[in-house]
Structure 1
Amino acid sequence: MSVFTPLSRPELETFLAPYGLGRLRDFQGIAAGTENSNFFISLEKGEFVLTLVERGPVQDLPFFIELLDVLHEADLPVPYALRTTDGVALRELAGKPALLQPRLPGKHIKEPNAQHCVQMGEFLGHIHLATRGHVLTRKTDRGLDWMLEEGDRQLAMLDSGAGQLLRDALAEIGHYKERILALPRANLHADLFRDNAMFEGTHLTGVIDFYNACSGPMLYDLAISLNDWCSDDSGKIDAVRARAMLGAYAALRPFTAAEAELWPVMLRVACVRFWLSRLVAAQAFAGMDVLIHDPGEFKHRLALRQKVEIALPFAL
């Protein structure tokens, strides 16, 4: 189970009392997390999620709180930090920064269809429209510079085939870095995989886990999501789902010519980011009872993305 910091009932009851949400009925750890400790919390006045932030600088937490407030005010289905009766959102529990948020309804989708992908395209479009006029600044700690540095470290541990694939990808990132950073920007979720969205049928009811959110090129956010939501079982891009996601997004924010040109590159960049971060996690938590996603999944997708046949629609 991916709960890095276990909690006792008495310390939870003490922590939760200032919210004024009634007696603690039940709580349980959430096994799906790979970076933070998360708990389902059942109180007399509702269902909630408690997150203990295990990774990342504490100074970034006000950014996450402000961003989610902005998106909540834009009527998007996102969690947001609840305040105590004294108005405090960011607190500490078991020596870790802690946030209490409403638990969103719905369930994760393992096999999305085109309508699910329409909903994800629209959601990303709404995030970007809600923030591009006043972008909240946060540089990701998994950005292009990190990819170049971490990728160089990982090369020595890869076999020749994987090493050459990564070496070529890093060279491409270095070549296009300045042009990527010059693309239209907004705030990004930057980790919108299937396990971070909930649906009731084909209706999107919630998007969670904004702890990789940052400021950056909007196209990168779309590439990250499409690589997950629109990949078939073999890792190839499913054309029907991809066009559904891209068309829904473009109806809200048309793409630029520069974005259209860099689209294949950005899909590969997104593969590199998650290949490397999964390699790092696999090495750091080897032998531990922690959920580790397969790094090979994104190595394989990177190989498949050397040729991209799905273009951006309606590029201006």
Structure 2
Amino acid sequence: MSVFTPLTRPELETFLAPYGLGRLRDFQGIAAGTENSNFFVSLEQGEFVLTLVERGPIQDLPFFIELLDVLHDDDLPVPYALRTSDGVALRELAGKPALLQPRLPGKHIKQPNSQHCAQVGDLLGHLHVATRDKLLERKTDRGLDWMLETGAELMPRLNPAQQQLLQDSLDEIGTLKARILALPRANLHGDLFRDNVMFEGTHLTGLIDFYNACSGPMLYDVAITLNDWCCDDSGQIDGVLARALLGAYAARRAFTAAEAELWPVMLRVACVRFWLSRLIAAESFAGMDVLIHDPADFEVRLAQRQQVEVGLPFAL
């Protein structure tokens, strides 16, 4: 169970009272999280998700609240922070920053088809268009500099083949860093994996977990998303799924020539980011009852992304 801070019923009832949402019926921890403690909370007036923020500086939380308000106002299917009767969104519970949000309907898709991927591409394009002209600035704490520094730190713990694969990518990032950062920018979800999107049938009903959201190159967000949604069981890019996602995205926002040129690079950068973060998580939570994703998944994908056959559509 990935709940780092357990809660008792009395302390939760006290926390929930100012929202005026009725009596607490039930609550349970959510096993899927790897960085925060999340709970399903059932109240008389509906179903909600409570998040205790375990990682990251508290000063960033107003950014997340404001970003979700912007996206909610633009009709994206996202959670947003509920306010107490006094208008307070960010509160504290069990010594941790706490947010209460509506629980979105639907369930996660394990094996997406082209229709699912097209809706994800459209959703991501909508998110970027909604924020590119009114960008909320937040620098990611796991950006290119972090990759260069963390990769160097982890290098001695890898075998020679892994070291060569990682070093080649770090060299590429160092060489192309300025060009990557000059790509068109917006607010990014930063973690748009299958377990952060909900569907009812083939209808997309929700996008959750914005705690990696930041400002940055839109193409990076596209690469992160495609690396998860459009892969076969071996980690290879599925051309049909990839073209469905990219085509739907491009219908919202046309790609540029600079993005088309750096597309293979950005797919590799996205692999490096999650390979490194999963290596860290595997070390940090070894032996603990916490969900740990296999770092090897992105090591394999990074090796496969040395050749990229699916390009961006309609690059201008």
Return the TM-score normalized by structure 1: 1.00
Matched residue SS, 1:101: strand
Where has structure 1 moved over 6 Å in runs of 4 or more? none
| CA distance in 2 between partners of 1:104 and 1:87 (Å) | 22
**Cα deviations by residue, 1:96-116 (Å, 9 ceiling, x for unpaired):** 000000000000000000000
Q: CA deviation at 1:67?
A: 0.1
| CA distance in 2 between partners of 1:23 and 1:252 (Å) | 43
| CA distance in 1 between partners of 2:147 and 2:204 (Å) | 32
Aligned to 2:297: 297
Q: CA deviation at 1:129?
A: 0.4
Aligned to 1:67: 67
**Cα deviations by residue, 1:149-178 (Å, 9 ceiling, x for unpaired):** 000001000000001000000000001100
Aligned to 2:183: 183
| CA distance in 2 between partners of 1:97 and 1:252 (Å) | 35
Matched residue SS, 2:275: helix
Aligned to 1:80: 80
Return the TM-score normalized by structure 2: 1.00
| CA distance in 2 between partners of 1:251 and 1:195 (Å) | 25
Matched residue SS, 1:156: helix
Q: CA deviation at 1:241?
A: 0.2
| CA distance in 2 between partners of 1:242 and 1:234 (Å) | 15
Aligned to 2:232: 232
| CA distance in 2 between partners of 1:289 and 1:154 (Å) | 24
Matched residue SS, 2:216: strand
Amino-acid identity (%):
81
**Cα deviations by residue, 1:99-151 (Å, 9 ceiling, x for unpaired):** 00000000000000000000000000000000000100000001000000000
Structure 1 segment 70-149 matched on structure 2, within 5 A = 70-149=70-149
| CA distance in 2 between partners of 1:267 and 1:186 (Å) | 18
The RMSD of aligned alpha carbons is: 0.3
Matched residue SS, 2:157: coil
Structure 1 segment 1-316 matched on structure 2, within 5 A = 1-316=1-316
Unaligned 5+ residue runs, structure 1?
none
| CA distance in 1 between partners of 2:226 and 2:201 (Å) | 20
Unaligned 5+ residue runs, structure 2?
none
| CA distance in 1 between partners of 2:239 and 2:258 (Å) | 22
Q: CA deviation at 1:249?
A: 0.4
Q: CA deviation at 1:42?
A: 0.1
Matched residue SS, 1:311: coil
